[in-house]
Amino acid sequence: MEADGWQLVEDAADADVAVVNTCGFVEAAKKDSVDALLEANDLKDHGRTQAVVAVGCMAERYGKELAEALPEADGVLGFDDYADISDRLQTILSGGIHAAHTPRDRRKLLPISPAERQESAAAVALPGHGPSDLPEGLAPASGPRAPLRRRLDGSPVASVKLASGCDRRCSFCAIPSFRGSFISRRPSDVLNETRWLAEQGVKEIMLVSENNTSYGKDLGDIRLLESLLPELAEVDGIERVRVSYLQPAEMRPGLIDVLTSTPKVAPYFDLSFQHSAPDVLRAMRRFGDTDRFLELLDTIRSKAPEAGVRSNFIVGFPGESEADLAELERFLTGARLDAIGVFGYSDEEGTEAATYENKLDEDVVAERLAHISRLAEELVSQRSEERVGQTVSVLVESVDDEEGVYGRAAHQAPETDGQVLLTSGAGLSVGRMVEAKVVGTEGVDLVAEPLAGSFGCSEEAGR
């Protein structure tokens, strides 16, 4: 967009076109997306904004249906529109109409065999898999480094897309149908983008995709992540590499070894358990059980006792019995997770689970959700208390004279897993890595005291 003459602004009220990136995964996220579109539409009554355009997963998943249901959106653009988004926005801004697409199953756009997908990828719109180099005039002074990207803030943390899509067929999830089959970005693109981000002052990168444990399978090497992580950790300026969203059924001993022993790679495990009762997991088309999951966690902690582990769980799944719920409680009580997300089951259009019988009453689902949420809150607080007395490496993310200095330790991912309040901010600035001793807790959050002479990420530390 910048290459085509558009100027990005921080305040939506200053925009001629407000582009809203939507989510199409669960009802709460869809509602948030619609609310954001309506909020942007209000700008047209008392600002310079002339058009509101929906993009992202909800726009891709529903297309014409969303356009008809939400006339406040002046345009609904799917993934196939992204390569020509500048022209699309100009048409809409000029009063023209760009017809929203009819959604299709994006799993059918790439070959079934992962080994054949890379050759076909150029013909398919894959958000985040852009061209290898920045165009002339937009590249940083050190030369072309990364796929087309523009940083919108000065945060010391940035996400890096590792792959797109998913080949798993969980019965409750519609994501593969609108995100498509799994396809990896090439290691060189991931490395180049990371180098570029480091030049912009980024200290921590978070590798994201729908399933990071599958990385490389379409490139002929299912263990490619194990070799890529050390290379990313060696990029000048990068102090921490974090991997999100790992499938328990695909965890490999070699990957556990790399995540627990590689300098600058966070021993952090975002494991998608979803439940632990065998019957529920099979109905979800997933694998494992309480004892296998606990064994996995024991293996991880035998190599890195202070490793961070988070997960999400669905309660009230069709057919879930009281015994199944008790089994989930048994796992949660023994797992010592640092962060727990709990969701009540609801039908997702187009999923296998939506056709299941033995649906639980909404009141029962709500009751179980409240019960497990209370348990989860208690358990993560207990886990935080276990960290009192430990030394943690904290990446400083905000410094405020009134609110104090906040950052995150290795076991805390951005926005989801809590944060660390440092008792002293003397000499600290955003982007600093500091060693600190945990002296207290506030729920999932930690309170820590910086250790004298432990500041990293500085010229002094480098020398």
* Same domain membership, residue 142 and residue 88: no
pLDDT digits (tens, 9 = 90+) for 177-224: 999 999 999 998 899 889 989 988 999 999 999 999 999 999 999 999
Q: Which of 103, 127, 152 marks a domain boundary?
A: 103
More confident site: 389 or 1 = 389
Averaged pLDDT for residues 365-394: 97
* Same domain membership, residue 131 and residue 39: no
| For residue 241, pLDDT beyond 70 | yes
One-letter amino acid of 308: G
Please report which helix (H) or strand (E) contains residue 448, including its range.
Answer: strand 445-450
The band of 455, judged by pLDDT with boundaries at 50, 70 and 90, is: low
The pLDDT value recorded for residue 140 is 52
Averaged pLDDT for residues 226-243: 97
Q: What percent of the chain stands above pLDDT 70?
A: 94
Domain at 78, CATH number: 3.40.50.12160
CA of residue 113 relative to chain centroid, distance: 26
pLDDT digits (tens, 9 = 90+) for 149-159: 778 888 999 99
Averaged pLDDT for residues 27-56: 89
Residue 406: which domain range? 390-450
Averaged pLDDT for residues 274-300: 98
Averaged pLDDT for residues 57-76: 93
| For residue 141, pLDDT beyond 80 | no
Averaged pLDDT for residues 396-404: 90
Domain at 324, CATH number: 3.80.30.20
The pLDDT value recorded for residue 144 is 47
Residue 192 burial (CB count, 10 A): 19
pLDDT digits (tens, 9 = 90+) for 245-271: 999 999 999 999 999 999 999 999 999
| For residue 63, pLDDT beyond 60 | yes
Domain at 423, CATH number: 2.40.50.140
Residue 325 burial (CB count, 10 A): 18
pTM over 0.95: no
Q: What percent of the chain stands above pLDDT 90?
A: 78
* Same domain membership, residue 239 and residue 150: yes
Look at residue 318 and tell me if it is in a domain. yes
Output the CA–CA distances (angstroms, integers) from residue 349 to 100, 355, 409, 437, in the order listed: 20, 9, 38, 48
Structural domains of the chain, count: 3
Tell me the binding residues for [4Fe-4S] cluster: 166, 170, 173
Calculated CA dihedral for residues 297, 300, 301, 302, nearest 10 degrees: 120
Query: Residue 240 in contact with residue 264, Cβ under 8 Å?
Result: yes
Tell me the binding residues: 166, 170, 173
* Same domain membership, residue 135 and residue 232: yes
Look at residue 345 and tell me if it is in a domain. yes
Look at residue 130 and tell me if it is in a domain. yes
